[in-house]
Amino acid sequence: MTVHHSAIQTGDQAHRLPIVALGLSLSAFFSITYGLCVALRVFVPDVGNHLPWFQFLPGFDWTPTGILLGLFESIAYGWYVALLYGFLFNWFSSQRG
């Protein structure tokens, strides 16, 4: 039987979010979701999902540059959520401790 040391956490470590892993996973999630929405718009042009793009992705338009900018903004939103939520979760978790 093998015991993985990384799986054994005690004290404060058990209640901390790994911010880098959270940032990478959220950025990947937002990027994949963004790619699926762009693909939907390409294959079904009259789907009507274009209005939120302009609201949540500043500078977005339906050009290759605008689509690439939207991808970078999706990644940035993932890191924004991870940094803010991860910091707040870890801070409140340590205060409650």
The Cα–Cα gap between 32 and 14 comes to 29
Is 31 part of any domain?
yes
pLDDT at residue 11 tops 70:
no
Instruction: Tell me if residue 25 falls in helix, strand or coil.
Output: helix
Nearest residue to 32 via CA among 79, 82, 74, 81: 74
Whether 35 is covered by a domain: the verdict is yes
Is the pLDDT confidence value at 30 over 80?
Answer: yes
Q: Quick check: is 13 in a domain?
A: no
4 located within any domain: no
Q: Which residues, in sequence order, are CB contacts of 12 under 8 Å at separation 6+?
A: 93, 94, 97
Residue 79: pLDDT over 60: yes
Asked whether the beta carbons of 53 and 60 are under 8 A apart, the reply is yes
What is the domain extent for residue 66?
19-94
Domains held by the chain: number: 1
pLDDT at 73: 96
CB 40 within 8 A of CB 49: yes
